[in-house]
Each structure stands twice: as structure tokens, then as C-alpha cells.
């Protein structure tokens, strides 16, 4: 059974600081996805990582993938309040089905 | 906007009643999915469809059935709702070369 674990599950950080969210998964996966969810809203796709060593960046967020370690990271640089949300990683071991992590609830404080 | 709508957006029902949730897409995508979201569990796949009349179970399919008679509509039915099915339900479609999933706005279902 594929397991996807995120840590931390809750993260409170100050504006301007850097931090990393980790996503570990238990079996080989073709690709890895990161999503963002604002409270009471739907999920928004952030990144699709397709191969070992893949790195994608958008604004203050950078995602990377290490398929050998079965690990993806989402790095936040100089956090701002607008980044407060819940972030999910999801993996696709094959085909189109996704298995999601539990989510990391990020709060950025002034 | 991935052209996905869900109806109803909110529903309160009583234990034992049947409930049907609808997902509608306007882009003719082959794959559609139903997830439920609960605190502490992330999103869990209930059922998915890979074409008209082609469906399969996900990891939490017990108590749910689905139908897809047209490409654009994917229906999720709770035959006899239970309180454990109180949740937020999301529909998704699969788009692009990398099977990126795009989500509808969600349906908040409360079973009393």
C-alpha cells in the first residue's frame, strides 16, 4: 500500500523566514504533485515534478524531487502572509490515480 | 478555471436517506474522480471513471456508487447516508500530458 507522509503537519512561521515542507512516499512513483488549498476553497495545482532531480520554482515557492530517496521538498523563501494555506503533496505510482499526503497547514505571522 | 462544477454545493440530510452529488465538466476529459476530504486524512479517492460507463473503485469506496452515462457528468451516490459520510466531496478531472488533476469547488455534505 502506497503511503505518503508530510511533515510537519502544522507550521507557524514569521514573515521573512525560510522553511521547508517534506513529503516522503513509500513506493516508486512516476511523478509528484504539489497543491495548495485556502480555507474553505478547492485545491489549486502548484507544481508537477516528473523526474529525479526535477526542480520547479514559482515566486517564493520551490519544489524538488529525489526519486531515489522517495522525497520531495517544498521550500518557502522569505514567507509572506499570502502564503498561509494548506499544502498537499500527491504521488502517482502509475496510471492516473493519485495518493495524497495529509497536508501541511502553514500559517505565516506578521 | 478547469470548467468543473459540482452540485449541490452544500447539503444537509438525515441518516438513511439517499444522496446524489453531481460533477459536470465542459472540456470533454476522459478521466474523472471523486474524493472526500476529512481532517487528518487529506484527500482520499472514492471512485474514478476512465470513460462513459467505465468506473473503478478507489481506496474508500464502501457505501458509495457512481455512474457516468455521459462524458460530461459523473454522479456519486450514497445509497443510505451515514454520519461517517459527513465530509467535503471534491470532483476532479485529469488534464494535460502529465495527468495533472484539477478540482471542482467541492460539496459540503452533512449527515445528521
For the cut 80, the answer to whether the pLDDT of residue A93 exceeds it is no
**Does the beta-carbon distance from A102 to B42 stay under 8 Å?**
yes
Select the residue of A43, A96, A103 nearest B99 (Cβ to Cβ).
A96
| Nearest neighbour of B31 by CB, restricted to A4, A42, A96 | A96
CATH code assigned at B62: 2.60.40.10
The nearest CA of chain A is from the CA of B53 a distance in Å of 17
Q: Which 8-state DSSP code applies to residue B63?
A: T
**Containing domain of residue B64, as a range?**
4-111
Report pLDDT digits (tens) over B77-89: 999 999 999 999 9
Q: What local confidence, expressed as pLDDT, does residue B65 receive?
A: 98
Q: How many domains does chain A fold into?
A: 1
Higher pLDDT, B85 or A94: B85
- Contacting residues of B for A47, CB less than 8 Å apart: none
Position A110 scores a pLDDT of: 87
- Number of structural domains (chain B) is 1
Q: What CATH number did the domain enclosing A59 receive? A: 2.60.40.10
**Structure confidence by residue, pLDDT tens digits, B44-87:** 999 999 999 999 999 999 999 999 999 999 999 999 999 999 99
- Which domain covers residue A80, as residue numbers? 4-109
SS3 per residue for chain A: CCCEEEECCEEEEECCCCEEEEEEECCCCCEEEEEEECCCCCEEEEEEECCCCCEEEECCEEEEEECCCCEEEEEECCCCHHHCEEEEEEEECCCCCCEECCCEEEEEEC
Amino acid at each position: 500500500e502506497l503511503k505518503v507522509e508530510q511533515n510537519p503537519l502544522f507550521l507557524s512561521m514569521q514573515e521573512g523566514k525560510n522553511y521547508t515542507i517534506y513529503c516522503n512516499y513509500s513506493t516508486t512513483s512516476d511523478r509528484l504533485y504539489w497543491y495548495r488549498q485556502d480555507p474553505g476553497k478547492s485545491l489549486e495545482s502548484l507544481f508537477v515534478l516528473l523526474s529525479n532531480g526535477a526542480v520547479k520554482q514559482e515566486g517564493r515557492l520551490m519544489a524538488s524531487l529525489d526519486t531515489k530517496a522517495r522525497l520531495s521538498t517544498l521550500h518557502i523563501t522569505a514567507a509572506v502572509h499570502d502564503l498561509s494555506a494548506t499544502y498537499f503533496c500527491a504521488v502517482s505510482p502509475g496510471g492516473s490515480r493519485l495518493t495524497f499526503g495529509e497536508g501541511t497547514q502553514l500559517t505565516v505571522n506578521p | 478555471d478547469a470548467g468543473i462544477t459540482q452540485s449541490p454545493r452544500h447539503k444537509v440530510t438525515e441518516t438513511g436517506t439517499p444522496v446524489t452529488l453531481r460533477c459536470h465538466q465542459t472540456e470533454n476529459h476522459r478521466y474523472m474522480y471523486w474524493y472526500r476530504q476529512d481532517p487528518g486524512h487529506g484527500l482520499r479517492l472514492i471512485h474514478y471513471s476512465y470513460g462513459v460507463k467505465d468506473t473503478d473503485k478507489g481506496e474508500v469506496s464502501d457505501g458509495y456508487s457512481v455512474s457516468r452515462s455521459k462524458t460530461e457528468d459523473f454522479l456519486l451516490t450514497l445509497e443510505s447516508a451515514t454520519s461517517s459520510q459527513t465530509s467535503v466531496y471534491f470532483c476532479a478531472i485529469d488534464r494535460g500530458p502529465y495527468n495533472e488533476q484539477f478540482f471542482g469547488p467541492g460539496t459540503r455534505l452533512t449527515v445528521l
